[in-house]
Structure 1
Amino acid sequence: MQPFLVTMRTTLLAVVSGLLLAGCQEQKQSPGAAAPPPPPQISVIAVQPQRVLLTTQLPGRSSAYRVAEIRPQVNGLIQKRMFVEGANVKAGDVLYQIDPASFQAALNNAEAALGRSEANLPAARSRAERYRELLVEKAVSQQDYDDAAAALKKAEADVQYWKAALETARINLAYTRITAPISGRIGRSSVTEGAIVTAYQPVALAIIQQLDPIYVDVPLSTTDLMRMKRSLKNGRLRGTGKTMEAVTLILDNGSSYAHEGTLQFRDVTVDPTTGSVIQRVVFPNPNGLLLPGMFVRAVMREGVAEKAILIPQQSISRDPKGHPVALVAGAGDTVERRMLTLDRAIDDQWLVSDGLAAGDRLIVEGIQKVRPGTVVAAVPYDDGEETKGTTPAAATAGTTN
């Protein structure tokens, strides 16, 4: 019985061994089933620094270059308004005529009084000189001479008094003709003929505004101001030259203003209610397109970044905490993960301030198919656009990350 069991075991082992050997040979005969899958294909771009002109788009409001509120300097009755509301006037043009009758009478009275004082002056002077000579000879008393000298001084003082009164009367008479102190466009009149006005009244008769050139006041937050100063100090931005003072304007309908403005000054006082400082820009306004009080957007130049890194926005993803992340094809075409610091959005690109270096191969397409450590097949990314030149790009400030 035992020899029979041994023979059966030997036979079964031989059959199993033959089947296993046949299976291995069959696998060797079908090489396609065991070949490893090819690496996923992704598109990359080589990171290259470029020269970029950075700008900030800020809201602003226009205001008149000069404003003159017209007020009377004497009391009286308005006889005539001598301008057309809304018209352009020149400095020196007569705007209102106040009834001059009483002021002309005051002038005539002062002239007559001055003439009377000047007529009395020679007699007083002769008497004082004669008494001085007689006093030496003891022909008159000292009191008589003192009285004559005092009368002379009084006559001279009367002449000076009436000269001043005459000049005041002339000034008041001239004030009855209310003239334009500046050239510009005059608004509506708050009074008509027949109105009684008072000197330096709180309500202006009219307002003249010079609109060419015109101011645009642009608030800048202290946070952005400090950021700009830090960037200029550490060399990330270069902001020298008159070109940095040039400002362009975007109107409320989205169109660009035809004329370029110049940054005149930046205020040194921070508004405690808004935490910002005012930047005043001067714009030419030959056609009167800009009016005081208009809301506009000013494109201010921050400086030039000589080695800025711009990457497509589609190459950026976010981690669970919202931090920007990018994938690059590293050594051996192995995917690496990079944490980025973004400065701002520029059209369809991000300006990267930290996390990438020149020469890095940034993955733009195929990000969903790979993860860090994956070996990939990298091909150049083709966005269908021609290669950009070396002209500085204009970068408008966006969200800082």
Structure 2
Amino acid sequence: MAVLTLGRVAVLAVIGAVGAGAGFHYTGRQVPWPLDRIPYGKLIPPYAEATQRPAQQGRQAAPQRPPVTIVTAKVERKPMPVRLDAIGTVQAISTVTVRSRVDTQITEVGFKDGGYVKKGDVLFRLDSRLVESLLRQAEANVARDKASLSSAESELRRAEELAKREFATDQRLDTARTQVATLKASIRGGEAFVDSLKVQLTYYTITAPVSGRIGVAGLKEGNIAKTGDNSTTLVTINQIDPIYVSFSLPQRHLPDIRAAMTSGTAVVLATQHGAPKGVEGKIAVIDNMVDATTGTIQMRAIFDNPEETLWPGALCQVRVTLRVDPEALTVPREAVQNGQNGTFVFVIEDGTARARPVTVDRTIDDRVVLSSGLKGDETVVIDGQLLLTDGARTVERNRGGQKPPGNLTSQRGSAG
């Protein structure tokens, strides 16, 4: 164990006294005599000076943030359409299901499956021999009754002449008159039966009730056609020129749609999926009730379809243009950013980026139509927003044909 000698105690006392003086100096208190003779200030700065100096040195040493490389575009006022997009289904104007009205055998099919038929074209011929024979018999009966009527009328005239001379009894005259009336009624009944058979005879030649695209025959030549709702369908015809496209739109657009229909500015463009071009038409029907489940309303647009661009049952993209705003305020779609406070754009003022809140009305292709937030003469940032903050310095990429410095980057994104 070390033994404390007088010399060691003296050394420790001196070290303690010097350390106490250093503590007084560092904390800013007065150093007592005789320790105030020691030049502490050259070795240890006071606490306040020691804490302020690194902060000042840090501020002086912090490099200034370089400008952000950006790409800009001008705000434009230009004509922009007010349009709505939806998915629609092509529907035939008229779909006719052809069935037989008599039970008989098919003797002829007069069309090609999938072909185009015109109204009145013969589709099927049925075996009509029985009804034709009944028709001839009925016509013969009418002819017989007419001959009998001619004889009865002659007999009536003779009876009337004899009655005037009082050579014929009243009974004979009444009998002659009754015979004539009976034959006339029989003739009328026979003629009605002939007309009925003629109508029935038309059932044996089935013609196209509408013009359109015909389907595949359900029964071919030689089969027995049956009547009734449960009978086999002979064929189906779809009238496809003109043609409908059915689609739904949100109910909030209904007032604008009706106003456009009244003014005649509403135009509908339907493009079938896979088709190289669309077909223009107009709104023909608006349903009389809003679907409470979906909040949409059903509509039908009508199109001339001579080239059969639209096909029944196909899906298509529907674009309804209600009107064109001549002075719409527009910016590129890339300029609009989303932040915590809503949509905004960065506007460049004297090389400095300023965040401006904007209200988006609609998006048309690659342009966004704004309803408020800009005047129309500003320059907005379309690339480099991720590195921007409000008040940041900027430099535009390739301005004046010069490339930006190599240490500057350009990124797209959004900032709140």
Matches for 1:226-245 after TM superposition, within 5 Å: 226=254, 228-229=256-257, 244-245=266-267
Match of 2:243 in 1: 215
Classify the secondary structure of the residue corresponding to 1:49.
strand
CA positional deviation for 1:293: 1.0
CA positional deviation for 1:301: 1.7
Contact 1:43/1:378 (8 A) holds in 2: no
Q: Match of 2:124, as an amino acid?
A: Y
Match of 1:350 in 2: 368
The change in CA–CA distance for 1:379 and 1:51 in structure 2 (over 3 A counts) is: farther
Q: Match of 1:156, as an amino acid?
A: K
In 2, Cα distance between equivalents of 1:305 and 1:220: 24
Structure with greater Cα Rg: 2
Gap runs ≥5 in structure 1: 1-8, 13-32, 385-401
TM-score (norm 2): 0.67
CA offset digits 1:96-126 (Å, max 9, x no partner): 2222221111011101110111011123223
The change in CA–CA distance for 1:188 and 1:52 in structure 2 (over 3 A counts) is: same
Classify the secondary structure of the residue corresponding to 1:269.
strand
The change in CA–CA distance for 1:148 and 1:356 in structure 2 (over 3 A counts) is: farther
Classify the secondary structure of the residue corresponding to 1:150.
helix
CA offset digits 1:17-40 (Å, max 9, x no partner): xxxxxxxxxxxxxxxx69x96996
Does residue 1:282 correspond to 2:311, yes or no? no
Matches for 1:309-328 after TM superposition, within 5 Å: 309-320=329-340, 323-328=342-347
Which of the numbers 176, 192, 201 marks the counterpart of 1:164? 192
Please provide the CA RMSD for this pair. Answer: 4.0
Match of 1:340 in 2: 358
Between stretches 103-112 and 341-350, larger displacement belongs to 341-350
The change in CA–CA distance for 1:138 and 1:239 in structure 2 (over 3 A counts) is: closer
Which of the numbers 82, 85, 88 marks the counterpart of 2:113? 85
Equivalent residue pairs, number: 341
CA positional deviation for 1:205: 0.7
Match of 2:42 in 1: none
Q: Match of 1:280, as an amino acid?
A: A
CA positional deviation for 1:58: 1.8
The change in CA–CA distance for 1:63 and 1:383 in structure 2 (over 3 A counts) is: farther
Contact 1:185/1:209 (8 A) holds in 2: yes
CA positional deviation for 1:67: 3.2
Which of the numbers 267, 270, 291 marks the counterpart of 2:286? 267
Does residue 1:191 correspond to 2:210, yes or no? no
Contact 2:286/2:297 (8 A) holds in 1: no
Contact 2:67/2:395 (8 A) holds in 1: no
CA positional deviation for 1:247: 2.0
Q: Match of 2:313, as an amino acid?
A: G
Classify the secondary structure of the residue corresponding to 1:357.
coil
In 2, Cα distance between equivalents of 1:197 and 1:108: 24
In 2, Cα distance between equivalents of 1:245 and 1:285: 19
In 1, Cα distance between equivalents of 2:379 and 2:112: 70
In 1, Cα distance between equivalents of 2:361 and 2:109: 59
Which of the numbers 263, 269, 291 marks the counterpart of 1:247? 269
Classify the secondary structure of the residue corresponding to 2:191.
helix
Q: Match of 1:70, as an amino acid?
A: V
CA offset digits 1:291-335 (Å, max 9, x no partner): 3211111222221011212213333333336x21334457x8886
CA positional deviation for 1:138: 5.8
Between stretches 192-201 and 168-177, larger displacement belongs to 192-201
Identity %: 23
Which of the numbers 359, 370, 377 marks the counterpart of 2:377? 359
CA offset digits 1:329-387 (Å, max 9, x no partner): 57x88866543321222334322123322334545456556655x4x667778899xxx
Contact 1:239/1:302 (8 A) holds in 2: no
Q: Match of 1:207, as an amino acid?
A: T
Matches for 1:127-142 after TM superposition, within 5 Å: 127-132=155-160
Match of 2:209 in 1: 181
- Larger relative contact order, structure 1 or 2 (CA cutoff 8 Å, min sep 6): 1
Which of the numbers 282, 292, 312 marks the counterpart of 1:292? 312
In 2, Cα distance between equivalents of 1:83 and 1:366: 66
Q: Match of 2:235, as an amino acid?
A: A
Contact 2:163/2:169 (8 A) holds in 1: yes
Between stretches 54-63 and 301-310, larger displacement belongs to 54-63
In 2, Cα distance between equivalents of 1:96 and 1:383: 77
Match of 1:73 in 2: 101
CA positional deviation for 1:148: 3.2
The change in CA–CA distance for 1:265 and 1:336 in structure 2 (over 3 A counts) is: same
TM-score (norm 1): 0.69
In 2, Cα distance between equivalents of 1:83 and 1:92: 12
Gap runs ≥5 in structure 2: 1-35, 40-59, 401-416
In 1, Cα distance between equivalents of 2:212 and 2:346: 61
Match of 2:408 in 1: none
Q: Match of 1:247, as an amino acid?
A: L
CA offset digits 1:132-186 (Å, max 9, x no partner): 4555566556555444333322211111111121222223223222233334433
